Amino acid sequence: MANKRDYYEVLGVQKDAAPDEIKRAYRKLAAANHPDRNKGDEAALERFKEAASAFEVLGDEEKREIYDRYGHEGLERRGGGPQFQNAADIFGAFGDIFGELFGGGGGGGAAAANRPRRGDSLRYPVQLDLKEAFLGCKRSVSFERDEICKTCTGNGAKPGTKPEFCSTCAGLGVVNQTRSGFGFQFQQRAACPACRGAGSIIREKCPDCRGAGRKAEPVTIEVAIPAGVDTGMQVVRQGEGEPGANGGPRGDLHCEIVVKEHPLFKREGTHLTCRVPVTFSQAALGAEFDLPMLVGTELLKIPAGTQPGEVLRKRGLGMPDHRTQRRGDLLVEIQVEVPKKLNEKQEQLIRELASLDQTHVSSHRKSFLEKLKDLFAPITGADEDPKS
């Protein structure tokens, strides 16, 4: 490995420099060699990176101690010294420190206007019917999301112009303000008033995005929904959200699943439940029929003597688990229906059955119905057949 310059020498401080002194020295170098101020100047970028590497070590008590004792070699043995590829890495690592350098306490969120930031994630509801949830499906979702403006490639400046480096805040987006109150003067960190925290100033705005650097555009994205999803689950398409800032990654697209109710089947986790009505004779004697499923039919055998409310379990005929694809069970609850109307023959047979059971039953309904018939017969008869 090539000989590295001494970190104290890089920052221009003494070996016994206090932490504050190191910070001040670094801030000066970072502002002077800032890539926005030195566009295309490779040597300045190198100095910027070198200063960042030095500060990464000397600004950290533990790393500084190792460096003091064993030098660069000591740091490398501990898994390598700092490796900054570009300015964005440095802002990513030191965003908060840039804020701290301005003397304000806490937070640091407003600091480092140039720090790469991840884009916002988007939510999109996706409604499925139970069969689609059972089989899995592909969905095209269409919505509007921000895209980097093609006219200005995202910097917000009119083509042919460039955003200018903000000299008020040295491109950092924050300034230190001196305020007074209660007989004291104190320092407060605030967003730079010249650039409103952006770190750069756009003199002539891009006509397409009006300086925003991004524009809402309609997009259509294909989303693969795995079999077995349920209401409340999310299918995430990574990197399909809003674009990030300063080269940060895009956010994600969260498809929020809503599965519509099915007229026959209900869901309990991976189990499917349904209620099947059968007649008294089917329950008593047993029966077989084809139960319509989400896909195809299934032969359902009802054993003789099945009781009302009894649940028949068919293993492996439920919904697939969205991760393992292992299927739950189908639970069929038997409902025994008591007929509301009987014809003459049916009533006669059931009365015979009742006499075998030796149970007490109410007297013939027919006598009452016949009475009603007798009462209304002349009128209804005349209405039904007016010709005769």
Between 173 and 251, CB nearer to Zn ion: 173
Between 178 and 343, CB nearer to Zn ion: 178
Q: Is 151 in the site for Zn ion (CB under 5 A)?
A: yes
Q: Is 161 in the site for Zn ion (CB under 5 A)?
A: no
Which one of residues 51, 97, 133, 149 is an interface residue with Zn ion (CB under 5 A)? 149
In 83-238, alpha helices (H): 87-101, 130-135
Between 246 and 273, CB nearer to Zn ion: 246
Report the DSSP beta bridge partners of residue 267.
272
In the complex, minimum distance from the CB of residue 294 to Zn ion, in angstroms, rounded to a whole number = 49
Q: Is 298 in the site for Zn ion (CB under 5 A)?
A: no
Give residue 265's identity as a one-letter amino acid code.
Answer: F
* Cα Rg of the chain (Å, integer): 39
DSSP codes, 57-83: HHTSHHHHHHHHHHHHHHHHHTT----
Contact between 205 and 156 (Cβ < 8 Å): yes
Which one of residues 209, 235, 278, 332 is an interface residue with Zn ion (CB under 5 A)? 209
In the complex, minimum distance from the CB of residue 214 to Zn ion, in angstroms, rounded to a whole number = 8
Q: Is 192 in the site for Zn ion (CB under 5 A)?
A: yes
DSSP codes, 264-324: S-EEETTEEEEEEEEEHHHHHH-EEEEEE-SSSEEEEEE-TTPPTT-EEEETT-SPBPTTT
- Distance from C-alpha of 176 to C-alpha of 100, rounded to nearest angstrom: 10
- Distance from C-alpha of 29 to C-alpha of 10, rounded to nearest angstrom: 9
Q: Candidates 15-23, 149-157, 291-299, 315-323 — which segment interacts with Zn ion by CB under 5 A? A: 149-157
Between 216 and 236, CB nearer to Zn ion: 216
Q: Candidates 117-125, 160-168, 176-184, 372-380 — which segment interacts with Zn ion by CB under 5 A? A: 160-168
Contact between 166 and 192 (Cβ < 8 Å): yes
Q: Is 245 in the site for Zn ion (CB under 5 A)?
A: no
Contact between 55 and 31 (Cβ < 8 Å): no
Residue 142: CB atoms within 10 A of its CB come to 9
Which one of residues 57, 87, 195, 229 is an interface residue with Zn ion (CB under 5 A)? 195
Between 28 and 139, CB nearer to Zn ion: 28
Between 191 and 300, CB nearer to Zn ion: 191
SS3 85: coil
Q: Is 259 in the site for Zn ion (CB under 5 A)?
A: no
Contact between 200 and 161 (Cβ < 8 Å): no
Rounded to 10 degrees, the C-alpha dihedral 338/344/345/348 comes to 80
Give residue 10's identity as a one-letter amino acid code.
Answer: V
Q: Candidates 144-152, 241-249, 286-294, 323-331 — which segment interacts with Zn ion by CB under 5 A? A: 144-152
Which one of residues 17, 88, 135, 194 is an interface residue with Zn ion (CB under 5 A)? 194
The residue with tokens 């969120």 is: 109
Between 141 and 191, CB nearer to Zn ion: 191
In the complex, minimum distance from the CB of residue 110 to Zn ion, in angstroms, rounded to a whole number = 11
Between 152 and 225, CB nearer to Zn ion: 152
Between residue 25 and residue 44, which ones bind Zn ion under the rule CB under 5 A?
Answer: none
Binding site for Zn ion (CB under 5 A): 149, 151-152, 166, 168-169, 192, 194-195, 206, 208-209
